C-alpha cells in the first residue's frame, strides 16, 4: 500500500499558523509593536492605510537586527527571547514564540528595513507568501521599519471575511490603546490614511490615560479630577493604577483595563473583585472605570495558554481577590468617596467614657400605658352594632359593583381548557380585545392589566413600546425617510477615538431615523435635529448608547446593523418604567402593539405579555 502521510510545505504550515496569530489587521499591529517594545524602542510610529488592508507600517528606534538575524526572524520558532522550556515560566518580554513574523510574511507582502546602532549598513528584505524575493544592504537610521502590504492577498477567503474599514480600524485602535496605556515612558504616533490620530509623548501613567481618553481640555480636566490612585504592595503582588469615582460609572464602560507585568489581560474573576468594591456605591447595572496594573513574579503566571496572550493563568488567583478588592476600597475610602467614620476629627462629638466605678447605672426602662385598649375610641367603646352596620354597607357596595367591572366577568367553568396553537394566539388575543371594553389598570408604573374574553392580560409597558418603536425606526431606515424636528439649541457631543471610528457606519441610518449631525472637527458633532418625539431626552447620550451597542454586537451586514440600530434607539426612547399612563394612553399602546407582526416578544426575544386564562384564575380561588 502507498504511504499517505507527508509533511506539509513550510508555506502551507505558515498559513495555518497565521490563522491563529493573524486574525485581522489589528493582530499584525499588536505583534509588530510588541516586537518594537522588546527591541528597546523609545519612539514607535504606526502608519495605517485602508484599515490595514493596504499597508501596516511600524517604525521604531530600537536596537535593530544584523543581516543574519533579519533573515532568521522570519523563520518559524526562531526567537531571541527563550532558550529552554524553563524560560516559559519566567517571561519578561512581550513576544517569545517566534511565530508572529513567519505568520505575517505567509499572508502578505512584507518588507523589513533594519540597522543596528553603530553599524555602517543595514539590511532590506522583501518577502511574499513566505518566499524571500530580495535581500540587500541599505543605509538607514538605527532601528527597524516593518511594512506589511496587501494583507491576506494569497488567502482570498480570509480577506473576504474582513469587516468594513471602519470596524477594522476600530479594532486597531483597541490594540493600540492597550499597548500605549501600559507603556507611558515610550512615545507613540498613530497615522491613518495620512491623518494623525494619536501623538503621545512619553509621560507617566496618569497623564497617558488622560492623553488617550481626553479629547479636549475640558475632558482631560474632568478625567484627571475623577481618577483615584491605587498603590498597594504585598508579598504576592504589587497593585497600582487608578479607579474612577462612582459618579463616572456608565451602563457601558470601555475604560476598564487590567495589566500584568506590562501586558494587557482579560480576567473576569478580578473584574468581579473590583465590582464588589463598588457594589454599594453605584446603581445596579452600571460599570466603573478602572486602570489596574499588577506586578507579580513571572514564575507565578502562565501567559502561554492562548495565541493572543490576553488570557493569563495565575497561581495565587484566589489569594489576590481580597487584596485587589481591598485596594479598590481603600482608594475609594481614602478620597472620601465611600462613607467612613473619622474618630480623629477635632469637631467630633465627645463620646462618654464608661467607668466601672459607676455601679448605680440602671438600664433604660420601657414605658407603656397599662390602661390602653385598642378597641376603645377617644369617646369610649365603639358599639358593636355600628361596626356591623358599617361592614354591611361596604359589602352592599361590593355586591353592587360586582359584574360591572371587566375583572369580575362571569365565566362558565363547564367548558374544558382548550389548547391553542402558538401561531393562533395573536389572532385570538386581538379578537378578545375587540370584544371587551377599553378599561385598563396600571400596576406599579410597569404593567398594564386589561380584561379580555379569555381571561386577564398583563403587558409590560416598556417592552411593548420597544416593539412598536422598533418597527417604526426600522421602516424609516428601509424606506430612507424619517420624521425629524429641529432643536432650538444644538447639542455638541464629543466622541472618543473609538466611537468616532465607528460613527461613519451609522451616519446614513441615523439620518434616516431623523438625526441631523454636523461634523465640527476633532471628533465633535453638533446635533441640529432629532427624531420626532425624543426632544425631552438627551440625544447625545442616546447616540453614544447606540454606538456601544453596535460595538458589542459586532454586526457588519447592513440589514443586521440596521436592525441592531433600530432596536438600540427603541430601547433608549421607549416609555420608561414608573411613568404613569392614562387609560387612553394605555389603550393606544395596546392597539399599536397588536398592529405589529409579533406582539408577544421584543425583537431580542423578551416576553411582552402574558395571559392568565379564566380557568387559571378560577383555580387560584378553589
What DSSP string describes 204-261? -HHHHHHHHH--SHHHHHHHHHTEEEEEEE-SS-EEEEEEE-GGG-BSS---EEEEET
3-state secondary structure of 505: helix
Q: C-alpha cell of 201?
A: 509623548
Q: Identify the pLDDT of residue 414.
A: 41
Q: Identify the pLDDT of residue 619.
A: 87
Q: Which residues pair with 486 in a beta bridge?
A: 529
Nearest partner of 602 among 570, 575, 579, judged by Cα: 570
What gap in Å lies between CA 484 and CA 292, rounded to an integer? 44
- Grouped pLDDT means (10 residues each) for the chain, 622 residues: 69 61 88 91 95 94 90 76 55 63 90 92 92 92 94 86 87 93 95 93 94 83 90 91 90 87 88 89 87 89 65 82 90 68 52 55 73 63 50 52 42 42 51 60 88 88 91 82 77 84 82 83 83 70 79 63 79 86 88 87 89 88 83
**pTM recorded for the entire structure:** 0.66
Whether residue 116 contacts residue 31, with contact meaning beta carbons closer than 8 Å, is answered with no
- Cβ burial of 239 (10 Å; 0-12, 13-18, 19+) is buried
Q: Identify the pLDDT of residue 418.
A: 44
What gap in Å lies between CA 549 and CA 78, rounded to an integer? 42
Nearest partner of 434 among 581, 591, 584, 610, judged by Cα: 591
CA angle 280, 285, 291 (to 5 degrees): 75
Q: Which residues pair with 208 in a beta bridge?
A: none
Q: Identify the pLDDT of residue 419.
A: 44
Q: Identify the pLDDT of residue 404.
A: 44
Q: What is the largest CA-CA distance in the chain?
A: 117
Nearest partner of 337 among 232, 257, 225, judged by Cα: 225
Rg for the chain (alpha carbons), in Å? 34
Q: Identify the pLDDT of residue 406.
A: 39
What gap in Å lies between CA 180 and CA 542, rounded to an integer? 30
What gap in Å lies between CA 237 and CA 231, rounded to an integer? 11
Please provide the distance, in angstroms rounded to a whole number, between the alpha carbons at the two ends of the chain: 80
Amino acid at each position: 500500500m502507498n504511504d499517505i502521510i507527508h509533511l506539509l510545505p513550510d508555506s502551507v504550515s505558515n498559513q495555518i499558523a497565521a490563522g491563529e496569530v493573524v486574525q485581522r489587521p489589528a493582530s499584525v499591529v499588536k505583534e509588530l509593536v510588541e516586537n518594537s517594545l522588546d527591541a528597546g524602542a523609545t519612539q514607535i510610529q504606526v502608519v495605517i492605510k485602508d484599515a490595514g488592508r493596504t499597508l501596516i507600517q511600524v517604525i521604531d528606534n530600537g536596537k535593530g537586527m544584523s543581516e543574519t538575524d533579519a533573515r532568521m526572524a522570519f523563520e518559524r520558532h526562531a526567537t531571541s527571547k527563550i532558550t529552554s522550556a524553563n524560560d516559559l515560566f519566567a517571561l519578561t518580554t512581550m513576544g517569545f514564540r517566534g511565530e508572529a513574523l513567519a505568520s505575517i510574511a505567509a499572508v502578505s507582502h512584507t518588507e523589513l528595513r533594519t540597522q543596528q546602532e553603530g553599524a555602517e549598513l543595514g539590511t532590506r528584505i522583501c518577502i511574499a507568501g513566505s518566499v524571500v524575493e530580495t535581500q540587500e544592504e541599505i543605509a538607514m537610521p538605527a532601528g527597524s521599519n516593518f511594512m506589511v502590504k496587501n494583507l491576506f492577498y494569497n488567502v482570498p477567503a480570509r480577506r473576504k471575511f474582513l469587516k468594513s474599514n471602519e470596524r477594522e480600524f476600530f479594532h486597531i485602535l483597541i490594540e493600540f490603546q492597550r499597548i500605549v496605556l501600559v507603556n507611558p515612558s515610550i512615545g507613540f504616533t498613530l497615522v491613518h490614511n495620512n491623518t494623525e490620530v494619536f501623538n503621545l509623548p512619553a509621560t507617566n501613567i496618569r497623564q497617558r490615560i488622560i492623553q488617550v481618553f481626553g479629547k479636549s481640555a475640558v475632558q482631560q480636566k474632568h478625567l484627571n479630577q475623577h481618577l483615584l490612585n491605587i498603590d498597594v504592595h504585598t508579598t504576592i503582588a504589587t497593585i497600582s493604577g487608578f479607579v474612577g469615582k462612582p459618579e463616572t460609572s456608565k451602563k457601558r464602560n470601555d475604560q476598564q483595563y487590567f495589566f500584568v507585568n506590562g501586558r494587557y489581560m482579560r480576567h473576569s474573576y478580578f473584574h468581579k473583585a473590583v465590582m464588589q468594591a463598588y457594589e454599594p456605591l453605584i446603581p445596579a447595572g452600571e460599570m466603573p472605570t478602572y486602570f489596574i496594573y499588577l506586578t507579580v513574579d513571572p514564575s507565578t503566571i502562565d501567559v502561554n495558554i492562548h495565541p493572543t496572550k490576553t488570557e493569563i493563568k495565575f497561581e495565587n488567583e484566589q489569594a489576590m481577590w481580597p487584596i485587589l478588592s481591598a485596594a479598590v476600597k481603600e482608594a475609594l475610602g481614602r478620597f472620601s468617596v465611600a462613607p467612613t467614620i473619622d474618630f480623629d476629627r477635632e469637631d467630633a462629638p465627645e463620646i462618654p467614657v464608661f467607668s466601672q466605678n459607676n455601679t448605680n447605672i440602671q438600664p433604660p426602662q420601657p414605658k407603656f400605658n397599662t390602661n390602653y385598649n385598642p378597641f376603645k375610641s377617644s369617646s369610649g367603646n365603639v358599639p358593636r352594632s355600628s361596626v356591623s352596620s358599617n361592614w354591611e354597607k361596604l359589602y352592599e357596595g361590593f355586591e353592587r359593583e360586582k359584574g360591572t367591572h371587566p375583572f369580575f366577568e362571569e365565566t362558565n367553568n363547564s367548558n374544558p381548557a382548550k389548547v391553542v396553537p402558538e401561531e393562533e394566539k395573536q389572532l385570538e388575543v386581538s379578537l378578545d380585545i375587540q370584544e371587551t371594553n377599553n378599561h385598563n389598570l396600571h400596576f406599579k408604573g410597569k404593567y398594564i392589566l386589561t380584561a379580555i374574553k379569555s381571561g386577564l392580560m398583563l403587558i409590560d409597558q416598556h417592552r411593548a413600546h420597544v416593539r412598536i418603536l422598533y418597527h417604526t425606526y426600522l421602516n424609516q431606515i428601509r424606506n430612507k425617510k424619517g420624521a425629524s424636528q429641529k432643536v432650538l439649541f444644538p447639542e455638541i457631543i464629543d466622541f472618543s477615538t473609538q466611537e468616532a471610528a465607528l460613527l461613519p457606519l451609522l451616519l446614513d441610518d441615523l439620518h434616516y431615523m431623523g438625526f441631523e449631525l454636523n461634523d465640527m472637527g476633532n471628533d465633535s458633532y453638533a446635533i441640529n435635529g432629532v427624531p420626532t418625539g425624543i426632544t425631552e431626552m438627551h440625544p447625545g447620550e442616546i447616540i453614544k448608547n447606540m454606538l456601544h451597542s453596535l460595538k458589542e454586537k459586532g454586526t457588519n451586514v447592513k440589514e443586521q446593523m440596521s436592525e441592531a440600530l433600530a432596536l438600540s434607539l427603541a430601547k433608549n426612547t421607549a416609555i420608561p418604567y414608573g411613568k404613569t399612563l392614562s387609560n387612553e394612553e394605555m389603550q393606544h399602546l395596546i392597539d399599536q402593539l397588536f398592529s405589529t407582526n409579533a406582539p408577544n416578544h421584543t425583537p431580542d426575544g423578551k416576553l411582552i405579555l402574558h395571559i392568565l386564562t379564566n380557568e387559571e384564575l378560577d383555580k387560584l380561588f378553589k
